[in-house]
Amino acid sequence: MQFIPYLDFDGQCKEAFDFYATVFKGTITFRMTYGESPMAGDMPKETHGRIMHNTLESAGGIVMGADGPPGNKGAGGCVNITVDSEAEAERVFKALAEGGAVTMPIAETFWAKRFGMLTDRYGKAWMVNCMKPMP
């Protein structure tokens, strides 16, 4: 079983996933707009540029997303990302926080060498973890 986060956007999916690809050093492996899909003829013209499905793959996993119907504000929730080094935690946190809002600054906690929480510039909530070894 594999759990894959699916992020919902209101017209910013392409921009957000291009940004995430640089932050997570990943590759967009699939992207289709509503206008490129077999159901394009059934969709209003104004939706044709919106992303119907997007997949980003990196060494650490997969994240997927799409633009919902116009006016869709996203489903909430949060994505937790765990990295192997403090330096990588700092890098990822800083990149995601740019233009967003830090909820909890990245710092050492009792369970992590580095942990921080933020909402990125696209309104998505993230937790960044660099775990301490378990006793």
For residue 53, what are its two tokens? 């499905």
pLDDT value at residue 39: 85
Distance of CA 60 to the CA centre of its chain: 13
pLDDT of 50 reads 94
φ and ψ of 105, to 5 deg: -55, 150
pLDDT value at residue 71: 62
Give the residue among 62, 64, 58 at the shortest CA–CA distance from 25: 58
Give pLDDT, residue 27. 98
Q: What is the pLDDT of residue 70?
A: 63
pLDDT, mean of each 10-residue run, the chain (135 residues): 83 96 96 92 92 93 85 68 94 97 95 94 92 84
